[in-house]
Amino acid sequence: MFLGKKRKGDRIFRWVVIGASGYTLLMLVLVAFSVIEGAIPVFSLEGLSFFIGTDWNPVEGRESYGALPYVIGTLVTAGIAMVIGVPISLGIAVFISEIAPPKVGTPVAYVIEVLAAIPSIIYGLWALLVFRIWLLDLIERPLYQAFGGTLPFFAKAPFGLDVFTAGIVLAVMIIPIISSISREILKAIPNSQREAAYSLGATRWETVRKVLFPYAKAGLLGATVIGLGRAVGETILVTMVIGNALGIAAIPTTLFSQSNTISSVIASQFNEAVTPFHSSALIALGAVLFVLTMGINIGAQLLVSRMVKVVPGGRE
Amino acid sequence: MINYQKGSIAAVTSEEYANSSVDYKLSSAQAYARGYKVSIRNLNSWFGVKQALKNINFDVKENTITSMIGPSGCGKTTLIRCLNRMNEMTPGAAVKGSVYLDDVDIYANGIDPVTIKRRIGMVFQKPNPFPTMSIYDNVAAGLKLNGIRDKKLINEIVEESLRGAALWDEVKGELGKPGSSISGGQQQRLCIARALAMQPEVLLMDEPTSALDPIASAKIEELLNDLKKDLTIIIVTHNMQQAARVSDYTAFMYLGEMVEYGPTKQIFENPQKELTERYISGKFG
Amino acid sequence: MHTDKRTLAWLVAGILLVSITPLTMSAKAFAQSGITLNGAGATFPFPLIDEWRVRYQDVQPDVALNYQSIGSGGGIRQFTEKTVDFGATDAPLNANQTSSLPGQAVHIPETIGSVVAAYNVIGIPDKGLKLTGPILADIFLGKITKWDDPKIEELNPDLPLPAQDIVVVHRAEGSGTTFVWTSYLSKVSTEWEVQVGRGTSVQWPTGLGAQGNEGVATTIRDTQYAIGYVELAYALTTGMDFAFIENLAGQFIEPTLDSTRAAVAASAPTLPKGEESWSNVSLVNALGQESYPIASFSYLLLYKELSTNPQIDSVEKARALVDFVSWAITDGQEFADDLSYVPLPEQVVTLNQETLKGITFNGQPVIETTPPPPPEGEPFTVTTSLDGTSYTVTGTSTFTATEVDIIPEQYVRITFDGDGEVELTLPKAMIDGITTVKAGSETLDHEMVSSSASSTTIKFTVPEGSSVVDIQGAMIVPEFEFVALLILATAIVGVIGFTRFRGNAMGVGFGKRM
């Protein structure tokens, strides 16, 4: 009796679990299906040149759509965010978990957690109303005045609404996320590793760089990829500060160029996309973003799995 | 049956140590002159408000093995971690007093704890090789940290250290394998090799065999006897038989105080304090 | 642990209570009103439509309005998909959109928008700058790039135009404002027409994109030497600097409600009928000395045959919808001025009324052509006073009312000296949102005859043998929102107080944790 009952419960559990996993698969199939279906009209118009096209003309009768500028805009802003955000995030994580005494580290960690929970629109508003003006006055203009004439990177009069601002604000947004995850990962490293390093006469910095980072690199890479995913997919914040150029004008030629990201174009244009081609082009952009994020995730997983081969760690 | 190892004879008679924990007779300079490698004077340690070590005084003779025994929580691990300033890495820990390495107080102002650790090596309770490094790199880690770039020299020291830790024959064909891929006992010997590569003067071992099986433990014990030719070894153990087997001197600690310290034979056969006698005979602990 | 759970339970209960309160509020609202009219579309008229939503409650308490400002494109889409009762758009339907509709639609201009060229240039005062259409087109094409360009200087010889780059600001998202702006630029510049064209979103040759009127306004405010376009209402309420624009008659016109209205009035004779195609209707560059050249209608969309949309499932609902729209284009226009909208000129109202007459439900015209006959009899007046204010009720019937009593927060009691049909006009200050008319315990059928901003006229029959009628309304009882707010506030205070009292077990509020 008892055994039979237990088995029945097991069977139900099994089906519930199978159903739950089937749900994710079903959702994936449904999303893929509707995205592909929705994207058909624009491919009938543009063909595969949609991917490399630089035009974005929604005016009826002249319609022409190309995804390239927004792919570039997405990668550039996310890249700037990562270049700035990752070192700072790791620095914060190391400070909290390795250097700061608990009296300092705990409140700082708490504040970081709070920052990580702030919705991105808040960062967007702050960036639009306050931060971009600081950035313009304190960084962009001085850079432009110093290098505008010599370095092509800076050769455009800045307004504070450009890929540079978008990248930095994205960095500000992802720093709490990456640093709080990284802190957890560093915290999970057994103390014996630190002691081993210190006992060999390693300084704090050497311990962090030569022992802790290598030990935790898979986890830290994971944290970074989560940050990258957020940066690539972030919509509203980017829309508010990137300058929202369209078409060929959206390919950033300098750090101070206006641009647009895939998700930002979708967000700003979908409501008023009245022609079938226009909405289809936006759906196709969604598909591109889908592929892009999937590519990033797969790439990151390959990287992690290659790293993990060197880290059996099972015996620790 | 307890099998005593014959150690070198200390230049100080056991009587001098008999009641030594509060009032120590020799100055650190006298101790150094008489061939003591490590001299501990008036050492106190706290964790927060809790005092973990109470006025510890003793000397360790060069090229000997000294065991610290005592029940759990008696402060023996804290004491050994004070000897290379590892203790101060623990949040909330505080230390007062002096530890002389030769004639230098490692707690004096201006002494860099990093250089101290390069002279006083340490092996921990659980084997802790760096899992992301190969066996070779584990041993070479300390050398590289100290700025040695000479490949040939590193190769030599790695081999010498692995031989010193009696691991060479077992791993010489697979030096490129990760440090965590070998057995627990091998890992612990790898950690000893890693410490030896620094060519330390003193080696501190904190219950180095507690996580190992008896065969692996026996190998490490065997190794210690060879190592003391070049090193002064201080070992914490919860295993009294091990203390009796490997050490020349034994210190018995209880509740943060050093109750008795003397030649191992005397501590085990003729302890001066009743508390020591009761602990040795297994009446508590 | 135990207190933790208790606190949690209380907290959850509190949150539930708080979250249910608005539900009960809307349930109450729903119970009051038999019919809800759903609309969706343009964001531009939203403040006005929302004002109508509130005001129409006074006129027709039984009809609730629900308008989602999701953008013109979304409005057209939802209207085409028949998920809303009416759509709203800033751009008229084009040929493609018209052909994908399930039935014939009518355009009902419900308000007028105009777009101004706002700028931020140090030294140029508000409204100091004069610009022409071709210059604006060249600026937005990126051909004129400096503020001291000779073309601008020629028009503004007295202004200290700086030798600075012009920063062009446009809308990032598709919008009706952009449609009006690009329609104007297309009309005045062939080059713009050829290179860019008009639409709710276009491929901008240059400039910064910002979200919404607010985004454009903020960007202009924070960016020196910027120029952009925002809706007049927005520019007026936020006090931005904006330019005089040359109209077709060669006058430089300040954008105001009046100059916009003038443009509409000048264009009115050329407007098509509601059911005809409006795709070429444009108010930009209108004739007339006083006309501001960048203006446009905002439209409501209805199906000519309302039953095309299954959402409109009864003649009552069809009538409620048409009644609302006809109120919005007449009485509803009163509220436009205060919100900086341009009220519809008479000609357009007449045109709309003609359009509404043509709307049918299952083939039958929705608007009854013959108004209900007024009751026979003589007019009468009775007066009462309460707390020093006097209220006057007028009426028409074969008998008269002798007395009016206000029972505060409950009802208004009127005593007659006869029975039969009566029409009463009651001041809104006394009673508003009339719900029920009772004679003793009997509820009488009453008909809403008309409603203005200050009074309501109803019609009912005093039953034989009764002389006392009680009229209940929404306003004389305490407003429900007030009660709900009170409950909500009590709940929040209670929850916070409880968790505080419980020793901060949930970590609600900071303090002891750290």
Interface of A with B (CB under 8 A): 101-102, 190, 192-203, 206, 210-211, 214-215, 217, 310-316
Binning pLDDT at 50, 70 and 90, where does residue C481 land? low
| Distance between B22 CA and the closest CA of chain A, angstroms | 30
CA A179 to mean position of chain CA atoms: 14
Between A and C, how many CB-CB pairs are < 8 A?
108
User: Do residue A271 and residue C198 have CB atoms under 8 angstroms apart?
Assistant: no
pLDDT digits (tens, 9 = 90+) for A283-314: 999 999 988 988 888 888 888 787 765 444 43
| Distance between A204 CA and the closest CA of chain C, angstroms | 27
Residue C194 predicted with pLDDT over 90: yes
A199: nearest CB among B91, B129, B195: B195
Mean pLDDT value across residues C399-408: 82
Q: What is the DSSP code (8-state) at residue C339?
A: G
Q: What are the boundaries of each domain within chain B? A: 7-280
Strands B104-105, B93-101: pairing is: antiparallel
Specify which of C110-119, C452-461, C462-471 reaches the highest per-range mean pLDDT: C110-119
| Distance between B140 CA and the closest CA of chain A, angstroms | 10
Distance CA C260, CA C233 (A): 11
User: Tokens in use for A14?
Assistant: 């099994």
Q: Is C391 helix (H, G, I), strand (E, B) or coil?
A: strand
Distance CA A13, CA C29 (A): 45
User: Tokens in use for C187?
Assistant: 């009309």
Interchain CB contact of A144 with C (< 8 Å): no
CA B106 to mean position of chain CA atoms: 16
| Distance between B15 CA and the closest CA of chain A, angstroms | 35
Interchain CB contact of A111 with C (< 8 Å): no
Mean pLDDT value across residues C48-52: 93
| Distance between C423 CA and the closest CA of chain A, angstroms | 48
Q: Chain C partners of A110 at a C-beta cutoff of 8 Å? A: 514
User: Do residue A190 and residue B128 have CB atoms under 8 angstroms apart?
Assistant: yes
Binning pLDDT at 50, 70 and 90, where does residue B242 land? very high
Taking CA atoms, A277 is separated from A56, A235, C58, C228, in Å, by 11, 22, 44, 28
**Residues paired with residue C360 on neighbouring β-strands, in sequence order:** C305, C365
- Mapped to the 3 state alphabet, what secondary structure does C60-75 carry? CCCEEEEEECCCHHHH
CB atoms within 10 A of CB B194: 31
Chains B and A contact (Cβ–Cβ under 8 Å for 3 or more pairs):
yes
pLDDT at C504: 44
Burial class (CB in 10 A: 0-12, 13-18, 19+), C315: middle
Distance CA A78, CA C253 (A): 46
Q: What is the DSSP code (8-state) at residue C118?
A: E
A316: nearest CB among B91, B118, B131: B131
Strands C130-131, C244-246: pairing is: parallel
Q: What is the DSSP code (8-state) at residue A249?
A: G
B117: nearest CB among A193, A201, A315: A201
Interface test with A, best of C68, C222, C510 (most A CBs within 10 A): C222
Superfamily of domain covering A57-315 = MetI-like (1.10.3720.10)
Q: Is B170 helix (H, G, I), strand (E, B) or coil?
A: helix
C209: nearest CB among A128, A132, A243: A243
Q: Chain A partners of C40 at a C-beta cutoff of 8 Å? A: none
Q: Chain C partners of A159 at a C-beta cutoff of 8 Å? A: 167, 208, 223, 226
| Distance between B18 CA and the closest CA of chain A, angstroms | 33
Interchain CB contact of A157 with C (< 8 Å): yes
Interchain CB contact of B185 with A (< 8 Å): no
pLDDT at B23: 42
User: Do residue A159 and residue C223 have CB atoms under 8 angstroms apart?
Assistant: yes
| Distance between B60 CA and the closest CA of chain A, angstroms | 20
A-contacting residues in B 163-182 (Cβ below 8 Å): 178, 180-181
Q: Chain A partners of B133 at a C-beta cutoff of 8 Å? A: 214
| End-to-end Cα spacing for chain A | 44
| Distance between B201 CA and the closest CA of chain A, angstroms | 13
Interchain CB contact of A275 with C (< 8 Å): yes
Binning pLDDT at 50, 70 and 90, where does residue C233 land? confident
Q: Chain B partners of A210 at a C-beta cutoff of 8 Å? A: 141, 145
Distance CA C480, CA B2 (A): 92
Chains B and C contact (Cβ–Cβ under 8 Å for 3 or more pairs):
no
Q: Is C364 helix (H, G, I), strand (E, B) or coil?
A: strand
A313: nearest CB among B117, B180, B187: B180
User: Do residue B117 and residue A200 have CB atoms under 8 angstroms apart?
Assistant: yes
A201: nearest CB among B114, B128, B129: B114
The larger pLDDT score, comparing residue C146 to residue B15, is at C146
Residue C454 predicted with pLDDT over 60: yes
pLDDT at B9: 33
Concatenating the DSSP letter of every residue in C270-335 gives: G---TTS--TT---TT-SSTT--SSEEEEEEEEESBGGGSTT--SHHHHHHHHHHHHHHTTGGGGG
Angle of CA points A70, C200, C92, to nearest 5°: 155
Of the listed ranges A134-138, C103-107, C362-366, the least confidently predicted one is: C362-366
Of the listed ranges A73-77, C62-66, C241-245, C432-436, the least confidently predicted one is: C432-436
Specify which of C9-13, C233-237, C243-247 reaches the highest per-range mean pLDDT: C243-247
Interchain CB contact of A281 with C (< 8 Å): no
Q: What is the DSSP code (8-state) at residue A128?
A: I
Residue C303 predicted with pLDDT over 90: yes
Q: What are the boundaries of each domain within chain A? A: 57-315
Binning pLDDT at 50, 70 and 90, where does residue C369 land? low
Distance CA B250, CA B248 (A): 7
pLDDT at C314: 87
Residue type, A99: I
Torsion of CA A180, A186, A187, A188, to 10 degrees: 120
User: Do residue C209 and residue A132 have CB atoms under 8 angstroms apart?
Assistant: no
C73: nearest CB among A129, A157, A272: A272
Of the listed ranges C46-60, C221-235, C471-485, the least confidently predicted one is: C471-485
Residue B83 predicted with pLDDT over 90: yes
Interface of C with A (CB under 8 A): 70-74, 76-77, 94, 96-97, 165, 167, 172-175, 196-211, 215, 218-219, 222-223, 226, 514
Mean pLDDT value across residues B56-69: 92
CA B237 to mean position of chain CA atoms: 10
Interface test with A, best of C165, C203, C204 (most A CBs within 10 A): C203
Q: Decide if C293 contacts C285 (C-beta within 8 A).
A: yes
Distance CA B151, CA C406 (A): 105
Q: Decide if A262 contacts A70 (C-beta within 8 A).
A: yes
pLDDT at A308: 63
Of the listed ranges B140-154, C247-261, C447-461, the least confidently predicted one is: C447-461
Q: What is the pLDDT along chain A (316 residues), one digit of tens a residue?
A: 555 556 788 889 999 999 999 998 999 899 888 888 999 999 988 888 999 999 999 888 888 999 999 999 999 999 999 999 999 999 999 999 988 888 898 999 999 999 999 998 899 889 988 899 999 999 999 999 999 888 888 888 888 889 999 999 999 999 999 999 999 999 999 999 999 999 998 988 999 999 999 999 889 998 999 899 999 989 888 988 899 999 888 999 999 999 999 999 998 888 777 788 998 999 999 999 988 988 888 888 888 787 765 444 433 3
Interchain CB contact of A62 with C (< 8 Å): yes
User: Do residue C167 and residue A159 have CB atoms under 8 angstroms apart?
Assistant: yes
Q: Chain C partners of A269 at a C-beta cutoff of 8 Å? A: 173-174, 201
Mean pLDDT value across residues C72-86: 90
The larger pLDDT score, comparing residue C367 to residue B166, is at B166
Distance CA B84, CA C222 (A): 60
pLDDT at C72: 83
Nearest-CA residue of chain A relative to B143?
A200
Interchain CB contact of A206 with C (< 8 Å): no
Mean pLDDT value across residues C370-374: 56
Q: Taking the domain B7-280, which CATH number applies?
A: 3.40.50.300
User: Do residue B194 and residue A200 have CB atoms under 8 angstroms apart?
Assistant: yes
Neighbours of chain B (3+ CB pairs under 8 A): A
Q: Decide if B255 contacts B79 (C-beta within 8 A).
A: no
